Amino acid sequence: METRDVSARTAEQSAGTHLQPGQVLHERYQILRVLGTGGMSAVYEARDLNFPNVVRRCAVKEIAIAPTKPLVLAQQRELFEREANLLASLSHPAIPKIYDFFNEEEYSYLVLELIHGEDLETLLRRHGGPLPQAAVVRWAVEICEVLHFLHTRQPEPIVFRDMKPSNVMLNEYGHIVLIDFGIAKIFRGEERGTMIGTEGYSPPEQYRGIATPQSDIYSLGATLHHLLSGCDPTKEAPFTFHQRPLRQYNPTVSPELEAVIMRALAYEASERFATAEEMRRALLPLAGRAGQPDPAVFPTVHISSEPAVQPLWTFRCEDEVRSSPRVAGGVLYIGCYDHNLYALRADSGQFLWKFPTEGGIAATPVPWEDLVIIGSEDGALYAVLASTGRQVWRFPTQGRVRSSARIAYNHAFFGSDDAYVYAVQARGGRLLWKAATSGPVRSSPAVADEMLVVGSEDGYVYALQLQRGTLIWRYFCGGGVISSPLIWEGMAIVGSTDRYLYALDIHSGWPVWRFRAEKPIISSPAGMGDTIYVGSADGNLYALESASGRLRWKFSTGGQVNSSPAVAGDAVYVGSSDGCVYCLDARTGKLRWKFETQGPVVSSPLVHEGAVFIGSLDHHVYALPAAG
């Protein structure tokens, strides 16, 4: 396995100084200078003294042999001679000619055609950034040609095995030449001890000792990715090219070229190009000007446009629908700014009843047993019969109730703009306790064990004891907390207007991690597996690793995302103030479909039995088909 060993640096240095300029090797090759060193080898420029009347220069590659048993050494040398003989039989303009090979002391030597030029790694470093697409494609076509030549040798295909920028030279005429056929590897000893670095260009199967023509195609893909992105794969986790989309690093790369390279980099060998010739044919149409392939030659890369989504049904209210739907017993409940709580049939949207309050309704209704509990901007929390909408009880507060109630242990917990958190009996509406904060409480409480966690616009997240409302801990965020906490793996995860999403240990209130968006986070997080999803006023829906808060992906909408995402199956749904409802692949963030309403969407979607329910400020409630 190719490795870059930290301790090998000293070996490189000693290899580089083994032969001095002027010294004559093998009574024939006069060393002129050191061309380069790498690993356990060095390359010198030498003059062939067998041609006394002309200056015939050559390259001498010296390979230091790692100490080993005599028998192993004999086998290695035999292999070396066989490989050298094989290469000496090859004739191709992109392969340097081998003139001679021999062993001396603990070194083996290859005498090769001297290539005047520069390797691509040096070129990349000198250029200091991604190389232009047109040049890279031209080289890639030439590399495919020589790979095709190697792969079609008889009786056995020859696999180059070590395609990387430093092994591709650009000669004085601007053509590519492959150097270093990996012969040096024959002599590599067993590496011991912990070391740093993996080769970065080799395909997964090569580490299991499998090297096929498809392995070279992968390595060529990796090389091209490095040249065009400037992103060195030896410095990244192995096999992670797909996490570094080329065009993200270099937008001048055409989508067609990116598609070709990503296919070469397919993790499964069978998904790559079958032959180097096939890859060459895919590259040829791109060899013209950057980003302008000839559409007549290049097969269209199908970029799926999202299919049109038809609502299952819609329902029109008298005002904006900011509230989020809930479904129980086949009935959908949702509040509206026209003061009403609506009950609709979930399968058809058919109107069943409405219950008028004295103010607009922004909160989410909560079905519980035979009741539906909802807060109103008129300052009260209501309980009505789910079957008829008849009022059962009403609990008044001194401020608007935008917080949605959480029912636990037969009590409804909710907040009010009067800055209190309330616990009332769900059956009779009788107060159990109220706890003061210093700002409006629009966040909806989360319940964990015997604890209630809720945010306030005073900037604190409060953990209150369920039975009495006494404070267990509180944590100060830099801004108001309108978002509702999600209890996830022993953490309370909640957004703040200070732009952070916080993960707090529910037992201690200690912050575990935080994630910074560009604008306030009003949206409430949702979790699935090891991923947390949350929207921000910066327009993005974020997917974060729940253990660390690290960004997995983000999806940019055209407006603020104050709607709270819903995850179902392998899809995540969210609304945006750009008027759209989005359905994204939960794993990748890729758009599955979007549905455009006629007004901003601040309502949060509910996924239930194959349908996505959501409200819009265009006065409508929509039922959309869920993905898959």
Interface residues with other proteins (CB under 8 A) are 1, 3, 6-7, 9-10, 190-198, 204-205, 207-208, 235-239, 267, 408-409, 411, 420-421, 430-437, 449-450, 462, 464, 466-475, 489-491, 502-503, 505, 507-514, 547-550
CB contact burial 102-132 (16+ within 10 A = b; e otherwise)? eeeeebbbbbbebbebebbbebbeeeeebbe
CB contact burial 54-78 (16+ within 10 A = b; e otherwise)? eeebbbbbbbbbbeeeeeebeebee
Task: Specify whether the CB–CB gap between 519 and 499 falls below 8 A.
Answer: yes
CB contact burial 554-589 (16+ within 10 A = b; e otherwise)? ebebebbbbbbbbbbeebbbbbbbbbbbbbbbbeeb
Min dist CB 305 to other proteins, Å, is 31
Min dist CB 396 to other proteins, Å, is 13
Question: Which residue, 139 or 422, is less far from other proteins as judged by CB?
Answer: 422
Question: Which residue, 311 or 445, is less far from other proteins as judged by CB?
Answer: 445
Question: Which residue, 336 or 441, is less far from other proteins as judged by CB?
Answer: 441
Question: Which residue, 338 or 505, is less far from other proteins as judged by CB?
Answer: 505
- CA angle at residue 373 from 602 to 412, to 5 degrees? 105
Rounded to 10 degrees, the C-alpha dihedral 607/612/615/616 comes to: 130
Min dist CB 178 to other proteins, Å, is 24
Name residue 463's beta-bridge partners: 453, 473
Question: Which residue, 38 or 93, is less far from other proteins as judged by CB?
Answer: 38
Nearest-CA neighbor of 594 among 613, 584, 581, 606?
581
Question: Which residue, 187 or 433, is less far from other proteins as judged by CB?
Answer: 433
Q: How many residues does the chain have?
A: 628
Task: Specify whether the CB–CB gap between 341 and 358 falls below 8 A.
Answer: no
Min dist CB 354 to other proteins, Å, is 32
Question: Which residue, 477 or 541, is less far from other proteins as judged by CB?
Answer: 477
Alpha-carbon span 541 to 573, nearest angstrom: 10
Alpha-carbon span 264 to 139, nearest angstrom: 15
Phi, psi (deg, nearest 5) at residue 219 = -65, -35
Phi, psi (deg, nearest 5) at residue 618 = -80, 15
Question: Which residue, 351 or 409, is less far from other proteins as judged by CB?
Answer: 409
Min dist CB 435 to other proteins, Å, is 4
Min dist CB 593 to other proteins, Å, is 30
Min dist CB 265 to other proteins, Å, is 13
Min dist CB 51 to other proteins, Å, is 43
Task: Specify whether the CB–CB gap between 521 and 536 falls below 8 A.
Answer: yes
Question: Which residue, 530 or 596, is less far from other proteins as judged by CB?
Answer: 530
Question: Which residue, 113 or 205, is less far from other proteins as judged by CB?
Answer: 205
CB-CB neighbours of 253 under 10 Å: 26
Question: Which residue, 339 or 514, is less far from other proteins as judged by CB?
Answer: 514
Min dist CB 409 to other proteins, Å, is 4
Min dist CB 80 to other proteins, Å, is 22
Min dist CB 331 to other proteins, Å, is 29
Alpha-carbon span 453 to 491, nearest angstrom: 10
Task: Specify whether the CB–CB gap between 592 and 571 falls below 8 A.
Answer: yes
Min dist CB 496 to other proteins, Å, is 13
Alpha-carbon span 501 to 481, nearest angstrom: 10
Question: Which residue, 135 or 472, is less far from other proteins as judged by CB?
Answer: 472
Question: Which residue, 246 or 491, is less far from other proteins as judged by CB?
Answer: 491
- What is the end-to-end Cα distance of the chain in Å, rounded? 43
- CA angle at residue 522 from 338 to 564, to 5 degrees? 75
Question: Which residue, 337 or 515, is less far from other proteins as judged by CB?
Answer: 515
- CA Rg, the chain, in Å? 34
Alpha-carbon span 597 to 574, nearest angstrom: 13
Three-state secondary structure call for residue 70: helix
Alpha-carbon span 325 to 348, nearest angstrom: 15
Q: Which helix (H) or strand (E) holds 612?
A: strand 611-615
- Distances, alpha carbon 73 to alpha carbons 67, 85, 101, 187, 449, in Å: 8, 18, 16, 8, 68
Phi, psi (deg, nearest 5) at residue 585 = -70, 125
Question: Which residue, 383 or 423, is less far from other proteins as judged by CB?
Answer: 423
Min dist CB 253 to other proteins, Å, is 24
Alpha-carbon span 225 to 223, nearest angstrom: 5
Alpha-carbon span 464 to 443, nearest angstrom: 14
Name residue 38's beta-bridge partners: 41
Min dist CB 576 to other proteins, Å, is 28
Structure tokens given for 19 = 């032969």
Which strand ranges, in their side-by-side order, compose the sheet holding 326-328? 326-328, 331-335, 340-345, 351-356
Question: Which residue, 464 or 567, is less far from other proteins as judged by CB?
Answer: 464
Min dist CB 353 to other proteins, Å, is 32
Min dist CB 242 to other proteins, Å, is 11
Nearest-CA neighbor of 560 among 532, 533, 535?
535
